[in-house]
Amino acid sequence: MSPPRKMQPKMKCYVCENDECDKPKVCENAILCFKSAVREHDGTTRISRGCVLQREHVPLYCNKHLASGASNDNIQIGAGSFHTICCQEEFCNSGPFPELRGPPPSDLNKIGLHARLVLYMLPLFVFFTIIFATLYLVRKKKRDVSTLPRRDKKLVETGCEQQMLVFATGASPNGHAQGANSTNEIRATAAGDSTLKEYLEGQSLTSGSGSGLPLLVQRTLSKQVALVECLSASGNSIIGSGSFGREIWRGVWHGENVAVKIFCSRDEAKWARETEVYSQLLPSRHDNILGYIGSDMTSRASCTQLWVVTHYHSSGSLYHHLLHLVKAMNHEQMFNICLSIANGLLYLHTEIHGTQGKPAMAHRNLKSKNIIVKNNGACAIADLSCCATQDKLTERFDTRLSSRRYMSPELLDQTYDHECLEGFRRADIYSLGLIFWEVCTRCSSNGVASDYSAPFAEWLTNDKQEPTYEEMVKLVVTDQRRPHIPNRWHTDPSLSGMAHMIRECWHQKAAARLPILRIKKTLVKLATSDPDVDLPID
């Protein structure tokens, strides 16, 4: 029997910011106190005291070795810097604020003559270096593109490769040179000092109760992330499909890989919705929901961008995983994927009461491209920008925002009740049935497995593209077709049980579909009855 977990001691801390620090407020039940100083690129210095109420927020304020109370180094971010001191005693964040190393911009006149000459000449040197590098890369790109077949040129000229070239070399899309931090990495610059803070406060996404990210992190997150690789054009989609103009990038944050989904300004409502959903899920994180790090507003190439930063998983989406499998899955791998997806959807669909609770939610855009495969073979549900709770169903759902291939009959023919959350949860079950079918077709039975095929591919003229609305209405609503269940499944007890459950998931009538809890129990029963499966069942 394992020893009881030691309780984290609670304490009181001072809470204030800038001018408020003359008369600070008091935060109770904290597990850690901090005080910080931040210098912006224009030389402005901000100070603050605060507290951390939840253990998972500690790394966002302090490095891992800081949990004992030591202070971190004075870290440079772009042209500014910040210094945070963390401690674990009552009111230990009183006293003087941390010192910031290096002279502020206003003290440059104190630097020696030679250093000033270097500072004056360095921008000119960097400017001419960027000009020559840009000309060289543009000429090289034109030469490389000219050797490609005509059918490939458009992909190279319009994909993420062009944006990597443009921003890594410091050139704007119209050809004018701009500053860049590195020829291999892209660092964002802040769109405004308190833009995100004001937006979040206006949207009531941070209550000060620990349900949202610390404001210090919100102001500086985009400055700390280096964008390295664009993923949305490569097919290895890490968080969602990269559709509707969104870009998916692999970035580096404090030495660790992260996934960055970038919305353009016209998709502000979807970015705000995903940020709000993640803030509701933060108090009770789940292994089968993609891990959330934070959101930020930033500017790149004179355009405002909206970021959602999450955990990065190198295996990519379930769609990419199934498509590129070297050999067929066995039963244990198949059940590992299906059970983890069911667990994630059960968590979303279920209302949890209490201080660590969450409202019941419907995903509304469930598909294999929005499910991420982790290193252990289990999955996590991603792309929560279409998620809905009962109190958010005031407007009719725009079905153009979700994938038509996975859309249920009642969504396609517009017969659903847009004010009822349960209707959307049943639509999720329909999509889940199609995803289970995709997974099971790649599972071996008696040494035989099928190649990957997207749902309804056998009836669509161009399966490489998203089907039209009219095509799916005819297939699903009028003809009531569903993907074919292979005959070989019927001789395999596990796949035969999966086939029976899948048919109940994608039933034409929404009320006849299985609830997610029943689906999980069925999966557990099938997995435990299979002698070839040895999974930890929770």
Q: Where are the beta strands (DSSP E) in 148-197?
A: 186-187, 189-190
Distance CA 496, CA 489 (A): 5
Phi, psi of 146 (to 5 degrees): -65, -20
Q: What stretch of H or E contains 300?
A: strand 292-300
Residue 268 CA, chain-centre distance (Å), reads 15
Dihedral, 172, 178, 179, 185 alpha carbons, nearest 10:
20
Cα–Cα distance, 161 to 264 (Å, whole number): 18
- Distance from C-alpha of 338 to C-alpha of 502, rounded to nearest angstrom: 11
What is the C-alpha to C-alpha distance for residues 157 and 233, in angstroms, rounded to an integer? 12
In 73-149, where do the E strands start and end?
75-77, 80-87
Tokens of 509: 């009538």
E-state strands within 6-140 = 11-17, 25-30, 32-39, 45-52, 75-77, 80-87
Find out whether 153 is annotated in a ligand binding site. Answer: no
- Dist. CA 160–CA 166, nearest whole Å: 10
Token pair belonging to 466 = 């998203």
Instruction: Give phi and psi for 328, each to the nearest 5.
Output: -65, 155
Residue 519 CA to residue 345 CA, distance in Å, equals 10
Q: Using an 8 Å Cβ cutoff, are 322 and 438 in contact?
A: yes
- Nearest of 503, 517, 524 to residue 348 by alpha carbon: 517
Residue 95 and residue 528: Cα distance in Å, rounded?
60
Report the candidate in 367, 363, 346, 207 with the shortest Cα–Cα distance to residue 286: 346
Cα(297)–Cα(199) distance, integer angstroms: 10
Residue 471 buriedness (CB in 10 A; 0-12 / 13-18 / 19+): middle
Q: Rounded distance, CA 431 to CA 437, Å?
A: 10
Alpha carbons 458 and 220: distance in angstroms, whole number: 49
CA 337 to chain centroid: 19
Rounded-to-integer distance, Cα 61 and Cα 51, Å? 10
3-state secondary structure of 501: helix
8 A C-beta contact, residue 424 and residue 397 = yes
Sort 298 into a burial class: Cβ within 10 Å, 0-12 / 13-18 / 19+.
buried
Q: Which residues are annotated as a binding site?
A: 261
Q: Which residues are annotated as a binding site for ATP?
A: 261
